[in-house]
Structure 1
Amino acid sequence: MKTIQLFLIVSFFFIGDLFSQGFISDQLSKKKNIDEEEVPWEDPSFPGSWPMSGKGNVRMKIGGYMKNDFVYDVNGTRDKTQFLMSTIPVKGEADYGSTGYVSFFSKETRINLDVRSKVSNTPVQMFVEGDFFSSTGNQFRMRHAYLKVGKFTFGQTWTNLTFLETLPFIIDFAAGDALFGGRSNQIRYETNINKNWLFGASIEYLENMGIENPNTLNGVAQAQLPLLSMKFIYSKKNTKLFFGASAAQLNWTGGPEGKNASTPQLDIIFGGRRQINRKNSVSWNVNYGIGSGENILAFIGSNANAVLTQEGELVAMKSFSALVGYTHHWNEKWSSNFSYAYGWLMDIPDSRDPFALKAGGISHINLVWQPLKYFSTGIEYMRGTQRTANSALGTANRFQLMTKFDF
């Protein structure tokens, strides 16, 4: 037994010596792939990736970040992990005037796998990403899972009309309160019309009908048709402009004892971003919709699209949202971001829940320090208001500190 142990120890030292002399690394670099072509370890077009052994020209990369958040909430908003308009208590609710609390969490931490290749000069990509921001505990949840083949995208990712570039960097997870969009399963086509214009069109699954049923009528809200959308993106020098529109159908299936009802959903979106100079940039996003309040991030989950009346008819509500952002770089390591988002619903039926979100606004301002390439930290102050359907008002304040390691 001692002889075997001695042999293993000597073998490890021998292998380590070969590595130190570069012998094994030289031999590995001489190996060919299955097509007898040398596969380079680095690829400038796909930074941080490496070739998959035995897979020819297939490359992969693991990415993501670890983020730790430390919150002090002044007014007792109901969600301890993100600052949402709909979670601000208003006058008349039992928790209005609550005391503050602290909350520490790492739920935003995420990891992704990016695999790319080319088949007959057509780029192919598979991307999967998840985080721990589930509604229950710290369970892992899927954010993105899509396949890109040439100009087509198949699977779950940001909707065709989610213009993320109109957002500055915000520490709070609910950064895009007035942003239109989210994630959906879809089939998308994108192409460059010329050097300045990009066109995109999509067929998407409308998962959330957003229909309020105050009279508890028989039936269920379910999609019968997909959402259709198109966008145009204009890019030139330091300016990028976004234009988009979508159409869908809200549907209520009454079943054997109820009534069937449907109404159109329509949206128009305009956004942009401009780099003023090396240190300053501004961004904005404006949306107007009919029956599409749930497509505004702040209104998700509040049944903000339509109300089912006692007669079994769907009454669509109109919605409007606006977002403005500003970023300033103090120097190479310090930066600040400001954003203000506001959204509201119009043509609200009297039968809507009196404490349902009607309008609200949230502002964020932060200071971020990045002393190292992959590490950053910062602090953010946010203030929000919510006005409900019965005109009750609530205001809340929150501070949030974060540490973040990107990889």
Structure 2
Amino acid sequence: MKIQSKTLAVNTLTLAVAMGMATMAQANGSNTEVEQLRGEVKELRALLEQYVAAKPAVSMPAPGTPAQNYPAPAAAPKANGLSFTTPSGTEVKFYGNVRADASYQAEGGSAARMYNQISTVPLEGVKEASDRLKTTLNSSRFGFDFKTPTQAGDVAGKLEMDFVGGATADQFRIRHAYMTYGNWLVGQTWSNFAITDYMPETIDALGYVGGSIKRTAQVRYTKNFNANSKLAVGLEDPKYTDNALNTDKTVATYGSDPKNEMRLPALTARFDQKFANGAGIITPRVMVAEKKTADDETTAWGAGLGLKYNLTPSTTLKADYYHVKGDSSFVAWSNPGYLIDSNKNLVENEFDSITVGLTQQFTPKWRGTLGYGYMKADDNKQYLDAVQTDLKSALNDNLWQAWANVFYSPVKPLSFGLEYVYGERETFDNGAYKSQTGVDNRVQATAIYNF
């Protein structure tokens, strides 16, 4: 039963003390001592009342109350997903997804490749891989996030893998592998220059022309000036991945230039500035890299500008722009960053690219994106003269792609998408071919289970 009154307890205790003291005083026969004792009892009562007022009320269970109504100790928080702590104190969280992709290619590139290859699709009438169905699960991924608390702050890291490593077949690869401490990052992750933040959403795992997906080995330092502004500076290894011309009149987009004798890492910097109203962010970026062969060397450079802005709470605009000279290792689908002329001198390629897209969240379960990307190479006669005539059909004057998609997420771990993309490439010269135009025309679908 519940105690009815704190005052009752105080009065009972005070009365008992008073009676005891009064009895002692009467036994001694002194009125003065009785009055003194009464005063002391009043002081004692006041102290007891202050003590009781400071204690919280206590509820006692009534007889016959079921045990489940008793106050229970707080339950330990449940882990979110598969997470655990190692004996050394490191917190580990496991995550990933299972992803199934399908594509019906009405016109386009090699049947051996699933994802975007706009820069190398065959010219019209030349070995086109038309009316093909392609499927793959190689974009499925899994990863681990790590964090170890220390007296000097948290040491954290990530290790993430998928199976998109092979040019024509599934192959295990590392996507991200890095550690962070304070403002420093060391390892492989998204490039500080060619970033994915401002690419409109696509189903294609590589994205479309105008954007770029690039992961590099790097050392990066990030300085936060305030809640809205930060600067990141990095030294990155482009891994000799400048595009080179193959003898089959294609650009070795996924290969590397064996003549490149790079000695220094690329220097990259980006500055993130959020808008004061919290509606978006703008990010200027720069890149400088050495290009060297046994006979010549030059300095490549690039600039980029990304924008993300919420036009309404359910409508988001994304845009990204690049201008690059002398490099093809950061921005995808570009011509070789340089060619070697008859005097063994490096002749640089220069290009501009842009992508823009609008994403609409129709309902909590439905969203869609309209996007467009464009890339234009500089018409450099010296650069074009550095390649044989029959290989000029591999050099693109311009590329463009437009796409529309819709995603449906019936429950949190599941997402289904459908997308249509159409694009063209136009070469500087048709070489021995009848046309200078190649077409990319596809319908794609995806099903993703995140865990």
8 Å CA contact 1:42–1:48 kept in 2: the answer is: no
The 5 Å alignment of 1:210-289 reads 210=242, 212=244, 220-236=259-275, 237-253=278-294, 260-289=295-324
From the two aligned structures, give the one with the greater helix fraction: 2
Is 2:354 aligned against 1:354?
no
CA distance in 2, matches of 1:165, 1:316: 28
1:54 aligns with 2:87: yes
Measured in 1, the distance between the counterparts of 2:203 and 2:181 equals 33
Is residue 374 of structure 1 aligned with residue 413 of structure 2? Answer: yes
> Where in structure 2 are the equivalents of 1:33-48 lying within 5 Å?
48=81
Deviation at 1:104, TM superposition (A): 1.3
The Cα of 1:382 is off from its aligned counterpart by 0.5
d(CA) in 1 for partners of 2:148 and 2:88? 10
Change beyond 3 A, Cα 1:330–1:41? same
Aligned partner of residue 197 in structure 2, secondary structure: helix
Partner residue of 1:18?
Answer: none
Instruction: State how far apart, in whole Å, the 1-side matches of 2:262 and 2:363 are.
Output: 50
Query: 1:73: which partner in 2?
Result: 105
Equivalent position of 1:126 in the other structure = 157
CA pair 234-64 structure 1, distance change in 2 beyond 3 A: same
Aligned to 1:113: 144
**Residue equivalent to 1:155:** 187
Aligned residues: 354
CA-atom RMSD, angstroms? Answer: 2.4
Give the counterpart letter for 2:148 in structure 1.
Answer: S
Residues in 1 aligned to 2:223 and 2:172: alpha-carbon distance in whole angstroms: 34
Change (3 A) 1:251 1:41: farther
1:329 Cα deviation after fit: 1.0
Equivalent residue of 1:354, what SS?
A: helix
Letter matched to residue 394 of structure 2: A
**Equivalence for 2:429:** 390
Q: Partner of 1:89 in structure 2?
A: 122
2:183 corresponds to which letter in structure 1?
K
Aligned-pair distance for 1:212?
A: 4.3
| Separation in structure 1 between the aligned mates of residue 185 and residue 208 of structure 2, nearest angstrom | 24
- In structure 2, relative to structure 1, the CA distance for the partners of 1:207 and 1:121 (3 Å cut) is same
Cα contact 1:86–1:386 (8 A) shared by 2? yes
What's the TM-score, normalizing by structure 1? 0.81
Cα deviation code 1:359-392 (max 9, x no counterpart): 2111221011100100011210001111123151
Q: Secondary structure at the match of 1:166?
A: coil
By how many angstroms is 1:139 displaced?
1.9
User: How many angstroms apart in 2 are the aligned matches of 1:261 and 1:325?
Assistant: 41
Deviation at 1:180, TM superposition (A): 4.3
Contact 1:209 1:251 in 2 (8 A): no
Deviation sequence 1:326-364 (CA, Å, 0-9, x none): 100111111101221111221232233312241211122
Report the Cα offset of residue 169 of structure 1.
Answer: 2.1
* Fraction of identical pairs, as percent: 22
Can you list the C-alpha shifts for 1:126-166, whole angstroms capped at 9, x where unaligned?
A: 21111111224222111111111111111111111233221
* Structure with more of its chain in strand, by fraction: 1
8 Å CA contact 1:212–1:308 kept in 2: the answer is: no
For the structure 1 residues 214 and 168, does the alpha-carbon distance in structure 2 shift closer, same or farther, using more than 3 Å as the test? closer
**Do the aligned residues in 1 keep the contact of 2:85 with 2:91 (CA within 8 Å)?**
yes
Amino acid at match of 1:115: F
Q: How big is the shift at 1:214? A: 8.6
Q: Which runs of 4+ in 1 moved over 4 A?
A: 40-43, 211-215
Q: Is the CA contact (8 Å cut-off) linking 1:161 and 1:181 kept in structure 2?
A: no
TM-score, normalised relative to structure 2:
0.74
Shift of 1:320: 0.8
**One of 80, 96, 111 as aligned partner of 1:64:** 96
**8 Å CA contact 1:334, 1:369 repeated in 2:** yes
Alignment partners' CA distance in 1, 2:182 and 2:192: 16
Secondary structure of residue in 1 paired with 2:324: strand
* Distance (Å, rounded) in 2 between the aligned partners of 1:154 and 1:125: 11
Query: Structure 2: 5+ residue runs without aligned partners?
Result: 1-71, 248-256, 431-435
Tell me the residue number matched to 2:50.
none
Cα deviation per residue 1:208-257 (whole Å; 9 max; x = unaligned)?
A: 25264799xx972121111011111001301100011111111112xxxx
Change (3 A) 1:177 1:125: farther
> Residues 91 and 74 from structure 1, CA distance in 2 versus in 1: closer, same or farther, beyond 3 angstroms?
closer
Structure showing greater radius of gyration is 2
